[in-house]
Amino acid sequence: MKTIARDRNVLTLIGLLVIGVFAAFGVRDVVVLDLLFTLLIYAVLGQSWNWISGYGGNISFGHAIFFGCGAYAAAIATARFGISPWFAFPLGAAVAAVLALAVGYPTFALRGHYFSIATIAVGALVETFVKTQPYLGRANGFELPIANGFAALQFTEKWPYVLLALALFAIAQAATIGLERSRLGYYLRALRANYGAAASVGIDERRWKLIAFAGSAVLASAAGVLYAQYTLFVDPSSTLALPISIDIALVGVVGGIGTVWGPPVGALVYVFLAKAVALKLGGAGKGYDLVIYGALIVAIAAVRPSGIVGAAIEALRRRRAVREAGG
Amino acid sequence: MEQTIDVFAQLLVSGLLAGLLFALVAVGLTLVYGVMDVVNFAHGEFLMLAMYAAFGLALLGLQPLVALPLVVIAMFFFGIVVYRLFIRRLLAGPPEATVFGTFGLLVLLQGLAQALFTSDFFSIPNRPFAQTLHFGSVSVGAAAIVEGIGALVLTGALFAFVEYTETGRALRAVSEDRIAATLMGIDVGRMNAVAFGIGAACVGAAGTLLMLSYPVYPRVGADFALTAFVVVALGGFGSVQGALVGALLVGVLEVFGGFYLAPEIKMVPVYLAYLVVVLVRPQGLLGRR
């Protein structure tokens, strides 16, 4: 039995946090800080996706709607209610969790594709809903009022945003490490490995997957709040539309589903690719980004469905087995 | 009152004709699911490819009804190639791999279409069947009638193929019990490839017919695919007859939704129908559990 302090995952996380804090205070280049913020937000979104689609094994194609819940909660709290965006965390989380329960309750008792289709359908429903509501700014979106300070969750410089995103990332990673050691984690793994056996010892699939999915939705919503406070603008295409859901699934799949470090690695690949596409091929809208993302998902699914981190873990295990057999 | 009935009849006819085309798209999806347990999330993008092919052939002077057999055959072989190169590998992986793998194919094909043909809408020049026919108070575009009847004939042909031919019986055997089918000497891998080819051929036909009344653009498949998922869930995954019934229902729902609610939210009742069916009768109207 490993103790928490000696867990390699925990040590890695602490190491990354130290580097992150130094980067936030040390780096003054706004382009780098902007990349760092995007990287952390996508790592959190990928981890959120990973909870239900990696550990849970139910692939979500509508994860952006939970991100959108947080982003719109922040925008509504500040621009419409005139209250602190800190209230957007519980507000967005509540809406996201309710949506997750509405999608999950009917579908978790069924085969996996019912859930995946429902996420596409609900994603389209939410997008249509937002686009028809003047209160939500329709398709054009709306701006958040300018403010300053910790209570208003707005800063003139970028480094505080990076620190906040780093804190959220730390929470997401710590929660995932906890998930792997928890009853929920064991149950999800058991359901994925052998559904019949898991059900026969009384593991209630619907109940445990609803918990994982609600948690996943709340996490994505928190990322949405930070994102809206950072860009000070929300609209459907940048927060809750299908292309964002594709990006989130890409981050989750590429890094490695069902692993603690898959999403951060996937986010690293994604941010690098997105930047490279924007610089070399003239940005999104021309289809090159979709070609690259699609080809990457296809290649991973066909060759190594466990993703980069999954492949690395398998390689390490094999080497250890060889060493033990040899020594 | 009479006017209301007229509108109702008009909407019903439009909805049923649209539903016939949805049926042709959906039977391809449901056949593949029945035989190999794979929901092809790129099914709509296959439809999009067929539409671009029909558009290209129309530019060369081949009108859709002439081009139809060519596109169907080409899509059949395209489906077999995709199965041999890609889907077969997915089947060897974890179950999630077929879901995100075919979704990756969707993203890739949509991106390729956007990169090659831009996001512009293309319609075939000198569309045939452009006139409107009047039956009493109901007016219908000739193109919609040709599409509906063509789709009905082809769906019927597929049904007859699955029901009465040797290959069709083998396909049904595989979808009922893969292991028993193997023991009876059926080559399951070959049946998977045939089913995937037929699935692609179905959207090959549907896409070509659709060019009579609809433009093609990179995201055209997304809406039709989502409709097809709902149709298949409504009718019951794996049931060909269910797909036909589900498609007619969805066609009517969509047309009525577009008229009585608003055109931009015409899909809302369709998606809600999906959630209700999944909640109340997950095996679908005619499906088996």
Digit-coded pLDDT (tens) for A25-74: 998 899 999 999 999 999 999 999 999 999 999 999 999 999 999 999 99
Rounded Cα gap, residues B133 and B85, in angstroms: 46
Q: Which residues of A touch B218 (CB under 8 A)?
A: 287
In a domain, B277, yes or no: no
pLDDT of A2: 53
Cβ-Cβ contacts under 8 Å for B137 (sequence gap 6 or more): B6, B9, B10
Query: CB distance B89–A302 less than 8 Å?
Result: yes
Q: For residue B97, give its domain range.
A: 2-118+129-217
The residue with tokens 């980004």 is A289
User: What phi, psi does A149 have (nearest 5°)?
Assistant: 115, 170
Alpha helices in A282-306 (DSSP H): 288-303
Query: CB distance A59–B97 less than 8 Å?
Result: no
In a domain, B237, yes or no: no
Mutate to test the interface with B, among A52, A116, A138, A298 (most CBs of B within 10 A): A298
Query: CB distance A291–B115 less than 8 Å?
Result: yes
Q: Which residues of B touch A293 (CB under 8 A)?
A: 104, 107, 111
Element (H or E) spanning B133, and its range? strand B132-135
Cβ-Cβ contacts under 8 Å for A58 (sequence gap 6 or more): A52, A107, A108, A112, A115, A116, A209, A213
> What is the rounded (10 degree) CA torsion for B274, A121, A75, A137?
-90
Is a pLDDT exceeding 80 seen at residue B162?
A: yes
Range list of β-strands (E), A18-64: none
Q: Are A184 and A211 in contact (CB under 8 A)?
A: yes
Lowest mean pLDDT among A277-281, B186-190, B218-222: A277-281
Is a pLDDT exceeding 90 seen at residue A3?
A: no
Number of domains in chain A: 1
Number of domains in chain B: 1
The complex's ipTM? 0.91
- Pick the residue from chain A with its C-alpha nearest to B262: A132
Whether A211 contacts chain B with CB within 8 A: no
B:102-131 residues touching chain A, CB 8 A cutoff: 103-116, 119
Candidates B105, B113, B230; nearest CB to A298: B105
Q: Calculate mean pLDDT across residues B13-21.
A: 94
What are the pLDDT digits (tens) for A124-145?
999 999 999 999 999 999 999 9
Q: Which residues of A touch B278 (CB under 8 A)?
A: 106-107, 110, 114, 118
Rounded Cα gap, residues A70 and B144, in angstroms: 44
What are the pLDDT digits (tens) for A295-318?
999 999 999 999 999 989 888 888
- Pick the residue from chain A with its C-alpha nearest to B41: A117
pLDDT of B258: 86
Alpha helices in B83-187 (DSSP H): 88-92, 95-117, 142-164, 166-176, 178-183
Is a pLDDT exceeding 90 seen at residue B235?
A: no
Query: CB distance B275–A121 less than 8 Å?
Result: yes
Rounded Cα gap, residues A294 and B35, in angstroms: 26
- Alpha-carbon distances of A85 from A80, A147, A162, A238, A269, rounded to whole Å: 11, 11, 17, 19, 31
In a domain, B182, yes or no: yes
Rounded Cα gap, residues B149 and B251, in angstroms: 15
pLDDT of A94: 98
CA–centroid distance for A68 within its chain: 12
Rounded Cα gap, residues B232 and A101, in angstroms: 23
In a domain, A172, yes or no: yes
In a domain, A278, yes or no: no
In a domain, B265, yes or no: no
Question: Around Cβ B157, how many Cβ atoms within 10 Å?
Answer: 11
What are the pLDDT digits (tens) for B52-70?
999 999 999 999 999 999 9
Q: Are A100 and A213 in contact (CB under 8 A)?
A: yes
Rounded Cα gap, residues B63 and B126, in angstroms: 9
Rounded Cα gap, residues A100 and A309, in angstroms: 27
Q: Are B86 and B101 in contact (CB under 8 A)?
A: yes
Chain A to chain B Cβ contacts (< 8 Å): 142
In a domain, B274, yes or no: no
Tokens, residue A12: 């890695």
Query: CB distance A298–B275 less than 8 Å?
Result: no
Point out which residues pair with A142 in neighbouring strands.
A234
Q: Which residues of B touch A57 (CB under 8 A)?
A: 94-96
Q: Calculate mean pLDDT across residues A254-266.
A: 95
In a domain, A14, yes or no: yes
Q: Is the dihedral of CA A191, A197, A203, A205 positive or negative?
A: positive
Query: CB distance A294–B109 less than 8 Å?
Result: yes
Is a pLDDT exceeding 90 seen at residue B106?
A: yes
3-state secondary structure A230-275: HHCEECHHHHCCHHHHHHHHHHHHHHCCCCCCHHHHHHHHHHHHHH
The residue with tokens 């780093």 is A166
0.80 cut: is pTM over it? Answer: yes
User: Would you place residue A12 in the very low, low, confident or very high pLDDT band (cuts 50, 70, 90)?
Assistant: very high
Whether A302 contacts chain B with CB within 8 A: yes
In a domain, B167, yes or no: yes
Q: For residue A216, give its domain range.
A: 4-241
Strand-strand pairing, B132-135 and A233-234? unpaired
The SS3 of residue A154 is strand
Point out which residues pair with B274 in neighbouring strands.
none
Query: CB distance A121–B271 less than 8 Å?
Result: yes
Radius of gyration for chain A, computed over Cα atoms and rounded to the nearest angstrom: 20
User: What phi, psi does A129 have (nearest 5°)?
Assistant: -60, -50
- The single-letter code of the amino acid at B196 is F
Rounded Cα gap, residues A31 and B229, in angstroms: 43
B:173-202 residues touching chain A, CB 8 A cutoff: none
Tokens, residue A295: 């080809």
In a domain, B180, yes or no: yes
Q: Are B253 and B15 in contact (CB under 8 A)?
A: yes
pLDDT of B288: 61
pLDDT of A47: 98
